Amino acid sequence: MGLEYAAAGASFGACAGAVTGLIVLVWYHWQLDRDIQRDYTPEELLPKENVERESCWKILHRLFKLALPVSAASIMLPVVSNLDLAIVPQRLEVAGYTVNQATELFGYLTGMAVPLINLSTIITASLAVSIIPALSEARAVGDKARIYEQSAAGIRISHFVCFPAFIIVLMLATPISTLIYSAPGAGPAVWACSFSIVLLGLHQVSTGILQGLGHPTIPMVNMILAAVAKVVLNWTLTAIPTLGILGAAFATAADMGVAAFINMFFIYKYVGCSMEWKHLFMQFLGEYLKEAKHWKTLRKQEFLL
């Protein structure tokens, strides 16, 4: 039916996924409500008479105070993506590319490299959501030792998951692009974006930690600062002929890096938890040597064939 309908069909997949996710959540909510009605008597579910009740407006004020910064931090990602759409192709043309070449390179970045990076951080995204109630509970009871342990564990798990993915994508960018997308030309963009994997995972987990500690405004402000840095770097690096789309990819990594490291500064301030640089270096070196040995073996087998 044409390219227009093909693009519309691909976009409609997001709508279908959102509706399906909503149905699943409604089913779980219905099941939870049913369990509550089964396990408690109507008298137990009534509010206690001697408990001071908050007014509706006060509850709404607390909800909005927590929800708005969290929502704003999430909104910043699509906002930055739209800024990329306005800046990157234009600056690629300044670097000497034609309109068709700029469009193709931008597609390599946003349609292939960035989704691959997001795929690598699915676990850390789930971890960031699950760590919020755990830290909120520990903060409510004043258990500082538990707050420190859970924060450190979250950061450690983030590195444990993201560093191997970073090394694999870094060393096999072009083969991965060829295997998944049948587009070896996307290899350089995927290679440059691989540095975002560790930074994005750290940013997701650190944002969850700060929100769980009751500071949802900090990640929002950090995302704004990171977005400003990305816009400046996109405008500057992408127009350099020797970089081109690599400049935009490095700007994406810098965006995540700025937000992640500012988050870590505030986590150290409130919790005392910091980056384990020695452990990170040893993990990076170990994964790099392992992948280098594996890649050397594959090249040797290909030569023999």
CB-CB contact of 295 with 265 (8 Å):
no
Strands of 80-175, DSSP E = none
Helix, strand or coil for residue 95? coil
- 21 with 115, same domain: the answer is no
Residue 142 maps to a domain: yes
Contacts of 90 (CB under 8 A, 6+ apart): 102
pLDDT score of 175 more than 70: yes
The answer to whether position 64 is within a domain reads: no
Same domain, 13 and 160: no
**What is the Cα–Cα distance from 89 to 97, expressed in whole angstroms?**
9
Q: What percent of the chain has pLDDT over 70?
A: 87
Residues 199-210: pLDDT tens digits? 888 898 999 999
Shared domain check, 145 and 1:
no
The set of long-range contacts for 149-157, using a CB threshold of 8 Å and a minimum separation of 24, is 151/209, 151/267, 151/271, 151/273, 152/273, 154/127, 154/128, 154/205, 154/208, 154/209, 155/202, 155/205, 155/206, 155/209, 155/273, 155/275, 156/276, 157/123, 157/124, 157/127, 157/205
Residues 49 and 121 in one domain: no
Task: Please tell me whether residues 81 and 194 are part of one structural domain.
Answer: yes
What does pLDDT average to over the chain?
83
Nearest Cα neighbor of 190 from 118, 141, 93 is 118
Q: Are residues 114 and 41 in the same domain?
A: no
Q: What are the pLDDT digits (tens) for 86-104? A: 888 888 988 888 888 888 8
Radius of gyration of the chain from its Cα atoms, rounded to whole angstroms: 23
| Residue 300 counted as domain residue | yes
Q: Are 274 and 268 in contact (CB under 8 A)?
A: yes
Domain count, the chain: 2
Give the closest residue to 88 by CA, choosing from 121, 111, 118, 115: 111
pLDDT band at 23 (very low <50, low <70, confident <90, very high): very high
Domain assignment of residue 217, yes or no: yes
121 and 261 both lie in a single domain: yes
pTM for the full predicted model = 0.77
Amino acid (one-letter) located at 136: S
**Per-residue model confidence as pLDDT tens digits over 115-150:** 888 888 888 888 888 888 888 888 888 888 888 888
Does 60 map to a domain? no
Residue 245 tokens read as 């789309």
Stretch among 50-59, 99-108, 146-155, 211-220 having the lowest mean pLDDT: 50-59
222 plus 253 within the same structural domain: yes
At CA 97, angle to CA 236 and CA 227, rounded to 5? Answer: 30
Which amino acid, residue 302?
A: E
More confident residue, 46 or 256: 256
Q: Are residues 250 and 289 in the same domain?
A: yes
- Domain match, 223 and 110 both: yes
User: Looking at the structure, do residues 197 and 257 belong to the same domain, yes or no?
Assistant: yes
* Residue range of the domain that includes 151: 72-304
pLDDT higher than 80, residue 295: no
In a domain, 61, yes or no: no
Higher-confidence position of 16 and 45? 16
Q: Which residue has the higher pLDDT, 146 or 50?
A: 146
Note whether 233 and 82 are within 8 A (CB).
no
Question: Does 62 map to a domain?
Answer: no
